[in-house]
Structure 1
Amino acid sequence: MGKLIEFFIHNKALNYTLLIFLAYLGFNAYVNIPKEMFPNVELEKISVRGAYSGSSATIIDKMAVRDIEDALSNINGIDKAETTIIPGSFIIILTLNEHSNKINVLSKVKDSIVASKQYLPSDMLEPTAKLLDKSKSLIKLSVSSSTLSRGDLTKISQDIRSKIARIKHISDVSIRGDSNEEVSIKINSKAVSAYELKPQSVLEAISNLSYIFPIGDIEQKDNFVFISTVNGKTSTKEWESSILNIEGRYIELGDIAKVQRHYPLTNTISTFNNKETLTLVISKDDTGNSIELSKYIQNYVKKISKNYPGTEFNFYQDSSRPIKDRLNTVISNLMFGLVLVFLSISILINLRLAFIVALGIPFSFIIGLLFIYYMGYSINIVSLLGALIVIGIVVDDAIVVGENIQRHIDEGMDAKEAAITGVKEMMLPVTLATVTTAAAFLPIFLLTGEIALFLVLVPIVVVMILFGSLIESFFFLPLHAEEMLKKSKSFINWEPLQESYNRVLSFHIKYKKTFVVLFLVLIPIFTVFTAKSMKFQFFPNFDGNNLYVSGKLNINTSLEETLKIVKEIEYELMQHSEEFSLKSTSAVSGYRRSLAGETELNDNVFFITMELYDRADTNFINKYLNPILNFSIFTEDVGFNDPEKIRLKQTFELSPRAREIIEKYRAKYNMIELGVMEDKPGLIRSDIQINLSGSNDAQLESSVKKLSLALSKIEGVKNYSDNIRYGKMEYKIKINPYGENLGLSEAAIARILSAYFLEKKQSTTFNNDGVMEIKTEDLYKDDLDTLLNFELTLEDGRFVKLTDIADIVMVRDYEKIDKLNGNIVKTLYANVDKRKITPNEILNQVEPILEDISKQGIDVNLLGEKEKNKNLQEDMKRTVLVAIFLILITLLLIFSKLKYALMVMSVIPLSILGALLGHKLMGMPLTMPSIIGILGLAGVVVNDGIIMLDFLHGTHNSESFFKRAKLRLRPILITSVTTFLGLFTLIFYATGQAVILQPIALSIGFGLLWGTFLNLIYLPTLYAVVNGIKPVKI
C-alpha cells in the first residue's frame, strides 16, 4: 500500500486525470440516479384475487377462500396472509419473507390455486395470482370540460393515457371515473309477462343480435375474399327496431326493452376543486427520476393539449415538487455543514489545511455516490440524510492525515517526503478508526422487515462515503498537501487550553479511584433515570404537505348520493382556503383510504385530499442561506420569496381545525366514519391496531365495543374505527314444498331470477375503439316490489308468484370479512396525537380490558406501532451484540491486551447519557431513529478513545502520561467539533420529512459532545487507575 501511495504522489498527471474522471462519473451518476421522497419500504407481495358475483362475504369464504388459504398455508417463504372478503369478491395479500425467491413462491401459489380449483364452484372463474407492482404515484392529471360529454372526455382521457403509458419509466396510468362504452338493454319484465314470454328465450334471442367472429374465407383465383358480419347495429334506434324471433313469435326489441348506448358510471367518480372530472393517476417504476419525469409529462401534455379543444387539464399532487424541495433542503444543509467544517478547521488548525480537507469532501461523496448508483439505490431523503450524518465524520480521516503531514512540514521535512511519511504513519490507525465507525453502522443490515428496507441506505451511504474518504485521504490528499501546505502557525494558541486541561486532569488523577467509581456508578444511574423519564414513539412527528378526509356513509348510500355529499364537504373546505393555505382539493367518491390505512372500494365511501402550500421558512438559514447554498436562487426565478411557501402552520396544527369544520356532516348524514389524517412515513398504517380472534362473533363484537368506549375517553386519541360493519340486507330464496311439487328447484328459480336482477353480458359488438359489450338487466330490477311480486312461468304456461313457491329469509351479513393467516379477525384501529400521548401509554391504560378479554378465550394480537416496537427490540438485541463484537475485534487489532480494548469500549454505554440529554434539550421523545443514532454513536466515540489511549498506551510514569494526554487534546477536540458542526443543521434546522432522521443526528451530536468529555477525562483517569499513574504538581 505504501508503494502505491508513493506511485500516486509521483504521478501527478495520472492523479489529476483520475480526479477529473471521477468528477465526470459522479456528475453522470447524479443526473441518472433515481430521485424520490422515500425508498421503497414494502416487502415483496403477491395478490390472489377471485370473484363470484352475487354471493355474500360469508358464502365466498366457505365456498372458495378457506380452501385456497389451506392450500397456500403449506408454501415456504410466505410471512403472512391477509385476506379481505367483500360480497362478490375476495383478495388475499401474501407478504413474503425478505429472502424468499418471489418467482418461485408465485409459481407455487399458482399451483396451489389450480390444486384447490376442484373445491370451487363450477361456474366460478379461476382466481388469479400476481406479484404486486412497487410503482409509486408520480402525479395526477384532471381532465374536465364545460362543453364536452362524459363519453368524449372518456375518449380523450383514454387517448392521453395511451400516450403517457409509452413514456419510459412510467409503470402505470389508471383513470378514475372512466368506463368502456357498452350497449345496455334494460328488459321490461312487465312487457315480457304481457307477451307471456320466457325470460331465457328473450335473453337467447338478444344474444344472437351480434356476431363478431369471422365466418370464413373464399380463395377463388384472382379474388380472395373474407366473410364476416356487420357486427350488429350501430345506433340505439336500429337496436330497438331489431326483430326478435322468440318462441316462434316476431317482436321488436323496443317493445320489450329500452336500449341505451353509453358510457356507464364506474365504481368511482373524481372531482378537482369541486368540479367533476376524469383523473389520470400516473405512477413510475423504481428507476424513474421523479423530477425529470414530472417535468417531461407536464410539458408533453401542454404540447398536445391543443389537439383537444374545449378540454381543461390540471396537474396536481405532483410528488416531484416536495422531492425537489426536500432534496434542495438537504443539499443546502450539506453545503452549510461543509462551510462550518471549513471554518472550524481554518480556526483550529490553518486555512491551507482547511482548504485541502474541504476539497476532499466532495470527492469522498462522489466515490460514495458511484457505489450507491451502481448498487441500484436512489437518492432520497434517507440516503441524503445518511450523507448529512457522515459529513462531520468523513473529515476526520482527512484532518488526521493532513495534520500529520503539516506536523512533519513544520518540523522542516520536505513537502513531498512529509506527504509520503505522514500518510504512511497514519495509514493503520485511520483505516482502523474508519472500520470502527463502519462497524457501528453495519449491524443495521441485521434489522428485519420494512424497517430494514427504510433504513438500509443509512449504513450503505455511511460506509461507502467513509470508504471514499479513505481513498481520497490516502491517494489524492497527499498530492494536494505536497503542493499547498507550508510551514505555518495555528490561528489558535493551544498552549493555555492545554495547560488548563492538564490541571483539570491532574485533579481527577489525584482522586482517580473516587472519580472512576463516580463515573461508573452515577452516570449509569442518571442514564437509566433519564431514559425512564422519556416517552418513546416509533417515528418523530413531521410536517407534510397534505391533509386527508376519509369518510364512510350508510351502506345503502348510492354513488351519486355520495358524490353530492362529497361536493358539499369539499366546497366547505374550499371556503377556508386562506386559513389552510389550500393549494387544491381533490376527491374520489367510491374509493377511500380508511383511517386504518386500508384501501376500500364501495359506493358509500369517499376520500378528499387537501393539498397545501409548502410551509413558509421560519428562520434566517432556511429563508436566505439555503437558496444560495443549494443554488436554487440562481436556477429558479423565485428569489428568496418562493410563492409556494406561504403556509404558516404545520399540518398537525391544521388537522384539528379541519376535523372541527367537517364534524357537523357526521350527524347531518349519519356517517359511520369520518376523520382527518396527516402524512405518515409509510411503515405504520395505524398507530394502534388490536386484532381479536375467536369462535364467538357476539363476544368479539362486545369486546371491540368495550375497547372503543375506553379509547373514546382517552385524550389524545384523534380517531378510531373497527372492521365490524354489517353490509346490505340479503334476501335468501328458500323453495317450499309447494314449489317442489310444481317441479321447481332452487337452481331453476335462481336461473330465472338472475336473468332479471343480475347484469349479464349477452354478446359483443364493435365500436371505433374496439370491442363493445352488450349487457342486459331488468328495467325495474332496483324496485323491491319487482322481486316480491315476481311471477315465474311454469312448463305448462301457467304463472306462479315467487312468494307462493318460496320463502324469503332476510339476513344481514358482514360488509366484509378480514382474515389473518386463515383466522377471522375483528380489528380496532386508532390514530393518536403523539404530542399529547403515545400509543404505548394508551395501550397501558387499556391493558386491564385486554387482560379481561384474553381470559374469555379470545386471542389478542397487538399490531401497529406496538408490533414494530417489539420487532425493533428483538432486532436491536442482535444488532447491538454484533456491533460490540465488531468494535472489540477492531480494537484488538490496535491494542494487544484485552483490558485496553475494554477500557475504550467502556466509553460507549457512558456516552448514551449525552444522547438522551440532547433529546431532552430539543424537546423530542426517543424514537426508532434515536436508537439507530446511539448505535452509530458507538463507533464515533470509540474513535476519539482510540486517539487518546493509543498515545497513552505504554506510559507508566506521570511525566510522559500527562505530556501525551495533553498532545491528544487538540486532535480530539478538532474531530469532535467538526463532527458536531457537520450535524449542526440537521440537529437545529431540520424541516419537513427531514425531521424523521433528526433523532439520529441528536444521538450522535450530543452523544459525541459528552463522549468527548469522557475521552478527555474519564478514559485517562481509568488508565491511571489500571496502571498506577500518580498526579504531578502543576
Structure 2
Amino acid sequence: IWIKNRLNLVSSNILFGLILVFMALFLSVNFRIALIVAIGIPVSFMVTLIAADLIGYSLNMLTLLGALIALGMLVDEAIVVAENIFRHMEMGKTPREAAIDGSAEMFPAVMTATLTTVFAFLPLLIMSGEMGMFMKVLPMMITILLLSSLFEAFYFLPLHAKEFFSIGKFDKIHERSLFWEWLITLNSKILKQLLLSKKRSLSLLVIAILLATAGMISITKFQLFPEFDTTQIYVNGKVDINSKLEDTAELISEVEKALMADLPKSEVASVTSVIGMKFNPDQSFELGGNLFQIFINLYEKAPENLFDTYINPLLSPEYDGSDMIRQKKAQEIAKVVQKEIVDPFKEKKLSNGALMFQEINAFVQQTGIVGHDVEIGLVSSDSPKLLVAIHQLKEKLKSINGVYDVGDNAKEGVRELKLRVNEYGQQLGFSEGYVTSGLKGTMLKAEYGKMFNDTGLVRIRIEDPEKDRNMQMESVRLTTPDGKHIVRLSDICDFYYEKSFVKIFKEDAERMRSVFARVDSKVVLATEVMNQIRPLLNEIEKESAKVIIKGEEKENKQMRKEMSQAAMIAIFLIFISLVWMFNSLILPLIVISTIPLSVVGALIGAYLLGINMTMPGVMGIIGLAGVVVNDALIMLSFIRKSKDYDELVEKASHRLRPILLTSVTTVLGLLTLMFFASGQALIIQPMAVSLGFGIAWATILNLYYVPLMYAVIYRVKV
C-alpha cells in the first residue's frame, strides 16, 4: 500500500501539472497553438520512457519526480516554435510556408536554449559517494526529457502545425488576442521609459539585486536534506555484550509492552521486533546477540493540504485512502516515544545494579546519506586523555538546545583475563603457550582424541561443567613441563582483568573514536551546532587529540566543492554554446550575466515558504542557470542589430508572449511540488522552489534587464 500510495501521489502531481499547463495554454494563446503544443507532450514522454529503459532506469519515485521537475520545461521548445509559426501566419503566409519559415527561424535559438539547460544539469553527475548515487537520476531524467522535447518540436510539431492551420479559415485580425495586445503595449511603455535613462535604470536595477542577494544569503540557513514524514519509527540499541539472544529478547519484551500500552492505536498499526541485529541511520546494520531492532509501523498520514485532500483522490490511478488516518508526523510520534518510553528505560537497572540497556534510541529513518547529523572523530594514542575529550564533547553537545541522542562508539566489551608468566614460572619452564594449552581443558571444551564407532567418527572432548560457577583462577593447578611438580597458577603467572573496546575503528590507518548526535532541525541545524562547538574542538586538538569532522558537516564540505565544480563546468559549457550561436563574445556575456542575478529569486522563494536551503535546492540553482539563459538568448536573438529605441522595443515586444508562456508553464508544472509536497517529495521540494521562483524572477530580468544591458553596451540611440 505504501509504495502504491507514493507512486499514486507523484502520478497525480504529474497529471495535475499537465492540466495546469494545458489550461494556461488554452486560456492565453490561440486554441490551435495550445492543441499543437499539447499533442507533443505525450510524444516526448513516450520517447523519454524508451530512452530511460534503454539506459537501465525504471519507473520509481525519483524518476517520476525528475519528470515532474522537467514537466514545465517540457513544453518550452514547443511553445516558442509554435508561437513563431503562428506569428508567421499572422504575417499572411500559407500554413506550409509558416511551418517551414517559423521553425527554421527558431532552430538555432531553441536548440541552443535546450543545450544550455542540458549543460546546466548534466555536470551534477560529477557528484560522488552516496549523494551522487541517490541524486544522479534527476539530471539524467531531466536531460532525456528535454532532448526528447527538442526532437518533437522540430520533427513532429511543424507537421502538426501545417495540418491544424490548414483547417478552416485563418483570420489574422480575429485571431489576435486583446489580452496580449494590452500586455505588449504595457510592456513596450515600461521598456521605453527605462531606455530613456538606460544607464541609471540599469545601475539601480543591478545594485538593488546584488544588495537583495547579499541580504538573503545572510539570513538563509542550510541543511543537507529536508526532513520528511515516513511510516516507520526505529527503536534500537544494545544490552550487555555478554547477553545471549534469549536474554536480549526477554529484556526487549518489556519495551514492546510499554510501546503497545502507551502508543495510540489510531497512529500505530503494529510493532515488530528483531533480536540479534540493528539498523544504523546510514542504512548499514550490525549483528550480535546483544543487539535489537524494533519497528514501529505507522498508518499512512492523513491528507493535510488541498491537493492531497481533493485532487489526489481524483487523479490517482489506484487511490486507497483506507490506511490514511494518522494525524501526527512520524517525527512528532518519535519525540513522544523517546521522551516517555525510551528515556525511562535508559535509567532502568537490573537486579545486579547494571543498566538494563547500554544503548537505546528512537529515530525516524531519513535519506541515510549520513549516519548522524553531527559526528566528530577523535584520534589519540593516550586513551585516558581521549576518554576525557569524548566526555567534554558529549557534555557540550548535551547543553545545546535541539541536540539529542548524544553518544559515542568508545564502548567497552567483555572483561578479559590477561596472563603473563612471571620469573618463577619461567625458571620452572613455563611459557604462555604451555599455560594456554594447559588451561584449555579447564576453560574450554578441549578435544583430546578421536575414535570410531558404528556411526562414524567420534570426537572426545573434556569440559569442566562447574567452570562458570565455582572456579577461582588463583586455585587452578598446572603440572610443570617436566611432569615432576604441580603448582598453582597464581604462583607462576601475574594476571589481571581488563576491558577492551567492543570494536576498533580506523581511518587512514589511525584508531579513531567518534562522538555523534542528532539535531531537531526545527530548533537548530547541524551547521549551527558545529559553529557552537568549534572552540572546544580547537582546544581538544591543541591538548589531547586529533579532530576529524564527519557527519553532515563533512558531506556539506564535499557537496560545496562538487557543486562549485559543477557550476563552473555548467557556465563554461553554456558560454561555449552561446558563442557558437551568436558568433560573438559580448552577447554571450550579457546572457551569462543573468545567472547570478537570478539567484535572489530562489533564495526569496525558500524564505517565503519557510524552508531551508538544501542540497537539492542548490542543484536547482545550478539547473536554473540553464533555464534562465533560454529566454535571454531568445530575446537577444531578436533584438540584436536594433538601431534605435523604437526598433529595439518593437523586437522585444515580439518575444513577450513566448517568454511569458514558457515561464508560466514551467512554474505551473512545478506548482504542486512547490506548494503541496508531502512524504518523500519533500526531498525535491527545495529544487522545485529554486527553479520555480528563480524562473519567475528571471522573467523580469529577461524582459527588462537584457534589453537595457544590450542598449547600454551597444549604445543604441533614441
TM-score (norm 1): 0.65
2:696 to 1002, 1009, 1019: 1009
Identity of aligned residues (%): 39
Unaligned runs of 5+ in 2: 350-354
Pairing 1:893–2:572 present: no
Aligned twin of 2:276: 590
Cα pair 1:596 1:721 within 8 Å, conserved? no
2:633 to 934, 940, 946: 946
After TM superposition, the structure 1 = structure 2 runs for residues 426-445 of structure 1, keeping only pairs within 5 Å, are 426-445=106-125
Cα pair 1:348 1:492 within 8 Å, conserved? no
Alpha-carbon separation, structure 1, partners of 2:592 and 2:80: 21
1:713-737 deviation digits (Å, cap 9, x = unpaired): 0001021111112221111233345
Unaligned runs of 5+ in 1: 1-320
1:610-658 deviation digits (Å, cap 9, x = unpaired): 121211112232233223323114xxxx4xxx12211111112111101
Cα pair 1:689 1:830 within 8 Å, conserved? yes
Q: Which amino acid aligns with 2:315?
A: L
Aligned twin of 2:328: 649
Alpha-carbon separation, structure 1, partners of 2:74 and 2:484: 92
Alpha-carbon separation, structure 2, partners of 1:668 and 1:763: 49
Aligned twin of 1:239: none
Pairing 1:601–2:287 present: yes
Q: Which amino acid aligns with 2:76?
A: D
Alpha-carbon separation, structure 1, partners of 2:479 and 2:160: 99
Cα pair 1:595 1:721 within 8 Å, conserved? no
Alpha-carbon separation, structure 2, partners of 1:364 and 1:776: 76
After TM superposition, the structure 1 = structure 2 runs for residues 593-992 of structure 1, keeping only pairs within 5 Å, are 593-594=279-280, 599-633=285-319, 638=320, 642-662=321-341, 663-669=343-349, 670=355, 671-736=357-422, 739-740=425-426, 743-758=429-444, 777-783=463-469, 785=471, 787-792=473-478, 800-856=487-543, 858-992=545-679
Alpha-carbon separation, structure 2, partners of 1:875 and 1:699: 36
Cα pair 2:378 2:512 within 8 Å, conserved? yes
SS in 2 for 1:779: coil
Tell me whether 503-512 or 705-714 shows the greater mean CA deviation. 503-512
Shift of 1:1014: 1.0
Aligned twin of 2:352: none
1:365-412 deviation digits (Å, cap 9, x = unpaired): 221222222112333332222111111111011111222233334444
Pairing 1:329–2:15 present: no
Tell me whether 991-1000 or 812-821 shows the greater mean CA deviation. 812-821
Shift of 1:789: 4.3
Pairing 1:342–2:28 present: no
Alpha-carbon separation, structure 2, partners of 1:324 and 1:779: 57
Q: Which amino acid aligns with 2:499?
A: R
Alpha-carbon separation, structure 1, partners of 2:472 and 2:576: 82
1:220-268 deviation digits (Å, cap 9, x = unpaired): xxxxxxxxxxxxxxxxxxxxxxxxxxxxxxxxxxxxxxxxxxxxxxxxx
Alpha-carbon separation, structure 2, partners of 1:917 and 1:849: 35
After TM superposition, the structure 1 = structure 2 runs for residues 44-83 of structure 1, keeping only pairs within 5 Å, are none
Compared with structure 1, are the counterparts of its residues 470 and 594 closer, same or farther at alpha carbon in structure 2 (3 Å cutoff)? closer
1:499-552 deviation digits (Å, cap 9, x = unpaired): 111222222122221121112222112101111111110111111221111223
Q: Which amino acid aligns with 2:128?
A: T
Aligned twin of 2:234: 548
Alpha-carbon separation, structure 1, partners of 2:459 and 2:366: 42
Alpha-carbon separation, structure 1, partners of 2:179 and 2:458: 87
Bigger strand share: 1
Alpha-carbon separation, structure 2, partners of 1:759 and 1:631: 64
Shift of 1:596: 7.5
Alpha-carbon separation, structure 1, partners of 2:233 and 2:515: 22
TM-score (norm 2): 0.92
Q: Which amino acid aligns with 1:968?
A: R
Shift of 1:836: 0.9
Shift of 1:763: 8.4
SS in 2 for 1:583: strand
Q: Which amino acid aligns with 2:20?
A: L
Compared with structure 1, are the counterparts of its residues 960 and 777 closer, same or farther at alpha carbon in structure 2 (3 Å cutoff)? farther
Shift of 1:692: 1.1
Shift of 1:1010: 0.6
After TM superposition, the structure 1 = structure 2 runs for residues 220-259 of structure 1, keeping only pairs within 5 Å, are none
Aligned twin of 1:189: none
Shift of 1:972: 0.8
Alpha-carbon separation, structure 2, partners of 1:541 and 1:461: 24
Shift of 1:909: 0.7
Compared with structure 1, are the counterparts of its residues 329 and 784 closer, same or farther at alpha carbon in structure 2 (3 Å cutoff)? farther
SS in 2 for 1:889: helix
Compared with structure 1, are the counterparts of its residues 889 and 708 closer, same or farther at alpha carbon in structure 2 (3 Å cutoff)? same
Aligned twin of 1:481: 161
1:495 to 181, 185, 197: 181
Compared with structure 1, are the counterparts of its residues 772 and 743 closer, same or farther at alpha carbon in structure 2 (3 Å cutoff)? closer
Q: Which amino acid aligns with 2:294?
A: I
Aligned twin of 1:559: 245
Aligned twin of 1:229: none
Aligned twin of 1:520: 206
Q: Which amino acid aligns with 1:915?
A: A
Alpha-carbon separation, structure 2, partners of 1:475 and 1:542: 42
1:44-73 deviation digits (Å, cap 9, x = unpaired): xxxxxxxxxxxxxxxxxxxxxxxxxxxxxx
Pairing 1:378–2:58 present: yes
Tell me whether 685-694 or 473-482 shows the greater mean CA deviation. 473-482
Aligned twin of 1:250: none
Compared with structure 1, are the counterparts of its residues 468 and 645 closer, same or farther at alpha carbon in structure 2 (3 Å cutoff)? same
Q: Which amino acid aligns with 1:1019?
A: V
After TM superposition, the structure 1 = structure 2 runs for residues 378-397 of structure 1, keeping only pairs within 5 Å, are 378-397=58-77
Cα pair 1:357 1:398 within 8 Å, conserved? yes
Alpha-carbon separation, structure 2, partners of 1:764 and 1:898: 92
Alpha-carbon separation, structure 2, partners of 1:914 and 1:827: 40
Bigger helix share: 2
SS in 1 for 2:179: coil
Aligned twin of 1:471: 151
Shift of 1:576: 3.5
Compared with structure 1, are the counterparts of its residues 958 and 396 closer, same or farther at alpha carbon in structure 2 (3 Å cutoff)? same
SS in 2 for 1:356: helix
Compared with structure 1, are the counterparts of its residues 857 and 734 closer, same or farther at alpha carbon in structure 2 (3 Å cutoff)? closer
Alpha-carbon separation, structure 1, partners of 2:96 and 2:59: 39
Alpha-carbon separation, structure 1, partners of 2:301 and 2:450: 56
Alpha-carbon separation, structure 1, partners of 2:315 and 2:553: 41
Shift of 1:779: 2.6
Compared with structure 1, are the counterparts of its residues 1028 and 608 closer, same or farther at alpha carbon in structure 2 (3 Å cutoff)? same
Compared with structure 1, are the counterparts of its residues 764 and 575 closer, same or farther at alpha carbon in structure 2 (3 Å cutoff)? farther
Q: Which amino acid aligns with 1:712?
A: K
Q: Which amino acid aligns with 2:182?
A: P
Alpha-carbon separation, structure 2, partners of 1:1011 and 1:962: 19
Cα pair 1:595 1:720 within 8 Å, conserved? no
Aligned twin of 1:569: 255
Tell me whether 906-915 or 584-593 shows the greater mean CA deviation. 584-593
1:769-822 deviation digits (Å, cap 9, x = unpaired): xx9999875433432626554444667597654444434322222222211121
Higher relative contact order (CA 8 A, sep 6+): 2
Alpha-carbon separation, structure 2, partners of 1:756 and 1:371: 69
Compared with structure 1, are the counterparts of its residues 437 and 780 closer, same or farther at alpha carbon in structure 2 (3 Å cutoff)? same
Cα pair 1:333 1:626 within 8 Å, conserved? yes
Alpha-carbon separation, structure 2, partners of 1:782 and 1:376: 58
Q: Which amino acid aligns with 2:123?
A: P
Aligned twin of 1:21: none
